[in-house]
Amino acid sequence: MNIKRNYNYLLSDLGSLKGVGIKTTNLLKKKKINSIFDLLWKLPKSYTDRSLSSKIKDLKIGETQTVTIIPQKYFFPRIRNLPNRVFCKDETGEIECVFFNSYEGYVKKILPIGKEVTINGKIKYFRNKYQLTNPSYISENSSIIKQKHNKYSLTEGISEKVYNKIISKIINDMPKIEEWHSKGILQKFGNISWNDSIKKLHRPENIGKFKENFYQRLAYDEIFSTFLVNSEIRKKIKKFKKTRKKFDTKKQNEIISKLDFSLTGDQNKTLDEINKDLCSDNKMFRLLQGDVGSGKTIVSLLAALNTINSGFQAAVMAPTEILARQHFLLAKKIFPKYIKIELLSGKSHYQDKKNILEKLLNMQTHIIFGTHALFQKKVKFKKLGLIIIDEQHKFGVNQRKKLSDKAGRDCDILLMTATPIPRTLTMTIYGDMDLSIIREKPNIRKPIKTYSKIENKIDDVIKFVKKEMKLGNQVFWVCPLIEESKKIDHTSAINKSKYLEKLFPKEVFLLHGKTNIDEKEIILNKFLKNEFKILVSTTIIEVGIDFPNANVIVIENANKFGLSQLHQLRGRVGRGNKASSCILMFKSNLSDNAKKRINVLKDSNDGFKISEEDMKLRGFGDILGFKQSGIKSFKLADPIHNHDLFILAEKEIKRIENEKEDISKFKPLIKLYDRADIINDIA
C-alpha cells in the first residue's frame, strides 16, 4: 500500500467501515466524527476490567462480573413477551441467563448446550438463584472477554460494546504510515512511530499518561503541522514580489515632533519594522499586537502616511463605525492638509458615497476609513498600497490568506489587536504572520488603580462615583447580563440602570447587545461628548473607541469573567491623562480561582503577564474571553502543559526554513490534520 493510500484510508468516511451502518454513522457525525481519523481522537475516559473471572459461588450481586459457564437447558416460552431463559452451571453453582426480545436461534447460537462459554454482565439474584439478564459480552473464546474494555464518552444510541468494536477494528486495520520526522526529532520521543503511538493512546492502562513518549509525540505532531502550514503561508506571501515603497521619513518625523507626547521605545521599534516591510520587495503581512492603550493607532497612521508619500493609497478598517470615525478624526488632526482623507459611513447619503468611490478610483482620496464595507466589490482603488485592520480577532488563518490574495500584488497588510495573548498561542494563531509587539504604555498614561469590593458595600462605590462626577469625570458600569435571570444570580444591566437613574437623574444611559446599531452610535457619541456621566453596559464595550474623559469603570460580578476579559474591560478607562480607577465587585462566596484572578488584576496592569496567568488558571480554550473564529482546536496538545513542544516545533520549523528543506514528505501529516486546503499544492 503506497503512502497516499495509507492516509486516504484514515481520511475515508465512517461508512466505509465494515459493520458501521448509516444509523451509527449519523450518530457519530452528531459528535463531529466524520472520518476514521476523527475517531482516533475520541479518547477513553476510563475502563471496565473484565479480565478477572469469578466462580458462580463467588459472584457479587449488583456488580458487573465475568464468569465461565456451561449451558445445560433452554426454556423458550410459547407466550409472547416472556423472556427466553438458559439454565447454566459451573462446578460451584448454577446461574440463569435471561434474554428479552431475543430469537431462539440467536440464543442457541451464542449459548450452545454443553459448550464452555464466558459471559459478562450485571449479576442479579432471583428466586434463590443467580441471574444475568441480557449479558453484555458472550464468547466461547474467553480471551476476547477477559480484557480491560475502554469506556468512552458515547453518543446516545451507540453502546460501549459497539464503540469498542469499531475502535478496535480501526486500530487493527490501520495501515503503516511512513515516518515524516527527522531522526533527531524522533529520538526526543524514544523513536516511537505514529502507528505505535496511536495504539498505545487507546490502551486502557495508558489513560491519563500525558507525559509518556506516545502522547508527547502525537501532541508534537499537532503543533508541528500547524506551524508547518503557517510557515508555508508566510513563504507563499513572500514569493509575491511587489513594488518597493519609497518615502522620506522626514515627513513622518515632522508629525511625530508635533505630537503632544513622545513615542515609546516599542512604538519606534515597531514603526521601523513596518517601514522596512513597506520598503521591501516582499509583501508585508504583519500583526501589530499591543496592550490596551499602548498606542498602536498612531503607529499604523504613520505607516499609512509613509505609504501615501510613496504614491499609494491606504485603507483603515475598524470593527465599528464610531471607532472608524475616531481614527478618521485623529488622522485629520495630525496629517498635512495635502493628504485627502475620507470616511465611508453606512449613514452617508447615496451621492456622498458615490463621490467618495469616484475619488478613490481617481486617486483623489489618499486614505479612507470605514468598517468591513470597505472591502465590498463596488469599492475600488486606483493604487491601494496598505490595508490596516483594527481589532482583527474575527479573522482566522483562511480569511487572512484570502484577504492577502484579494489585496493585490503591491498591497501590504497590517492587522492590529489589543488582545495580548501568551507566546504559545501567538505562535499557533498568528504563526502565518510577522509579529510586532508594543508592551510599553505612553508616559502620559497613568496606571489604573484596581480595587475589589463585596457587593453589599455598594454604598461606598456610589460615594466614590459621586465624587468623581463632581470633578467632571465619567463612569462605565458593566453588568454581565442584559435582563435579570431566575437561573443565574448575576446583576442585570437593566435593573442596575434603573437603580442608578434614581440616584443620578438624567445622567444614566443603558447600552447592551440588543440595542440597535443606530441607537448605539447615538449613545456612544453622546457619552464621548460628555452629555451624560454614567454608561451602564454589558461587555459590548470591551474593545473599541477611546473615551478620554471616562476614568472610572465598575464591573459587577467580576468573578464571572476571565482575567483577559477583565483587563480588556479595564482598558476602557485610563485613555486620557487623568488618574483612573477600576472597581471589581463580587459576591461573598468566591472560589479560590476567582480570588486568584482578582488579585492578579489588582497587582498588574501588564496585559501580557495577565494573559499568561489567565491561561494557567482557566486553560487555553477560553483565554481570550471570546471564541476566536478560525482557531483550530488541538485534540491533544496544550499550550500550558506542552510549552516545551511548542518551542521544539518552532526551532524545527526555523531549521527547515533556513535549510530550505523539501517539505513534500510532510504531505501525509498535513493531510491527516485537515489543513491541506491551505497548501494543497504541495508536491
Residue 83 lies in a domain: yes
Q: Which pLDDT score is estimated for 627?
A: 39
Claim to verify: residue 357 and residue 336 sit in the same structural domain: yes
> Coil, strand or helix: which one is 576?
coil
Per the CB < 8 A criterion, the answer to whether 400 and 433 are in contact is: yes
Please give the Cα distance from 202 to 39 (Å, whole number): 11
Which of 438, 471, 489 is a domain's end point? 438
Element (H, E) at 150: strand 148-151
Element (H, E) at 152: none
Residue 255 lies in a domain: yes
What CATH number corresponds to the domain at position 479? 3.40.50.300
Of 109-123, 199-213, 606-620, least confident by mean pLDDT is 606-620
Claim to verify: residue 371 and residue 520 sit in the same structural domain: no
Q: Which pLDDT score is estimated for 4?
A: 45
Claim to verify: residue 423 and residue 472 sit in the same structural domain: no
Given a cut of 50, is residue 486 above it in pLDDT?
no
Cα distances from 382 to residues 202, 245, 491, in angstroms, run 59, 16, 52
Alpha carbon of residue 185 to chain centroid: 28
Claim to verify: residue 270 and residue 355 sit in the same structural domain: yes
Claim to verify: residue 396 and residue 509 sit in the same structural domain: no
The average pLDDT across 526-553 equals 83
Residue 408 lies in a domain: yes
**What letter represents residue 62's amino acid?**
G
Claim to verify: residue 396 and residue 454 sit in the same structural domain: no
36-71 tens-digit pLDDT: 888 888 888 888 888 888 999 999 999 889 999 999
Which pairing describes strands 117-126 and 129-133: parallel, antiparallel, or unpaired? Answer: antiparallel
Task: Using alpha carbons, select from 322, 319, 361 the residue that is nearest to residue 343.
Answer: 322
Claim to verify: residue 278 and residue 346 sit in the same structural domain: yes
Element (H, E) at 594: helix 592-603
**What letter represents residue 195's amino acid?**
N
Residue 335 lies in a domain: yes
- Percent of the chain scoring above 70 in pLDDT: 90
Please give the Cα distance from 3 to 384 (Å, whole number): 45
Claim to verify: residue 356 and residue 269 sit in the same structural domain: yes
Q: Which pLDDT score is estimated for 280?
A: 93
Residue 258, number of CB atoms within 10 A of its CB: 8
417-439 tens-digit pLDDT: 877 777 777 777 777 788 899 98
What CATH number corresponds to the domain at position 98? 2.40.50.140
Residue with cell 484570502: 402
Alpha carbon of residue 388 to chain centroid: 23
Report DSSP letters for 185-219, one per residue: HHHTTTT--HHHHHHHHT-GGGTT-TTSHHHHHHH
**In the structure, what pLDDT confidence band is assigned to residue 629 with cuts at 50, 70 and 90?**
very low
Per the CB < 8 A criterion, the answer to whether 456 and 491 are in contact is: no
Which of 419, 438, 457 is a domain's end point? 438
Residue 284 lies in a domain: yes
Which of 146, 168, 187 is a domain's end point? 146
**In the structure, what pLDDT confidence band is assigned to residue 482 with cuts at 50, 70 and 90?**
low
Domain, as residue range, for 85: 51-146
Claim to verify: residue 401 and residue 293 sit in the same structural domain: yes
Mean pLDDT of the chain: 84
Q: Which pLDDT score is estimated for 622?
A: 46
Claim to verify: residue 107 and residue 127 sit in the same structural domain: yes
Per the CB < 8 A criterion, the answer to whether 649 and 227 are in contact is: yes
Residue with cell 477600576: 582
Please give the Cα distance from 410 to 284 (Å, whole number): 9
Element (H, E) at 397: helix 397-407
Claim to verify: residue 396 and residue 460 sit in the same structural domain: no
Per the CB < 8 A criterion, the answer to whether 307 and 278 are in contact is: yes
Residue 9 lies in a domain: no
> Coil, strand or helix: which one is 510?
strand
**What letter represents residue 201's amino acid?**
L
* Total of domains in the chain: 3
Claim to verify: residue 433 and residue 507 sit in the same structural domain: no
Q: Which pLDDT score is estimated for 471?
A: 92
Residue 155 lies in a domain: no
302-339 tens-digit pLDDT: 999 999 999 999 999 888 787 888 899 899 999 998 99
Residue 2 lies in a domain: no
